[in-house]
Amino acid sequence: MSDERTAPGPGSVAWRDLTVDDAAAIRDFYAEVVGWSASEVDMGGYTDYELRTPAGDIAAGICHARADNAELPPVWLIYVMVEDLDASLSAVRARGGEVEGPVRGGEGGDRWAVIRDPAGAALALYEPAPPAP
């Protein structure tokens, strides 16, 4: 996730996206329904989309259900920033929630994981990469 998308700090909604089989069709749906325009994001073999408001502000992303996103549910997913993803995932499990699939990202970069709270609602916990030295 780029710095342009990063929210001010832990507990903030840092990003939101939708993962679907046909991202181009859904991109076009939202362009017509809410007026978003799209910029292509190269995913190394296919293209996802960053959506912008008519004023040019980043609104969300539309992603293909491929690679790391292959198992994500087709729901609008928010990404809530946390300081320590591992500690937050431990708390999810301790408080009756579930971690859906593996932690994604890593190797010095952004890390995130999809969770379900005890009521079954999904969201992603997002730990940004440490600042460059």
- Tens digits of residue pLDDT in 7-39: 468 999 989 999 999 999 999 999 999 999 999
Q: Is residue 2 part of a domain?
A: no
Residue 52: CATH number of its domain: 3.10.180.10
Structure-token pair, residue 76: 């609008």
Mapped onto helix, strand or coil, the DSSP state of residue 25 is helix
Q: What is the reported pTM?
A: 0.82
Instruction: Give the tens place of pLDDT for each residue, 79-114.
Output: 999 999 999 999 999 999 999 989 998 777 899 999
Q: Distance (Å, rounded) from C-alpha 11 to C-alpha 31? A: 29
Q: Is residue 16 part of a domain?
A: yes
Q: Give first-to-last CA distance, the chain, whole Å.
A: 18
Using the 8-state DSSP alphabet, how is residue 27 labeled? H
Q: Distance (Å, rounded) from C-alpha 68 to C-alpha 20? A: 13
Q: Distance (Å, rounded) from C-alpha 67 to C-alpha 131? A: 26
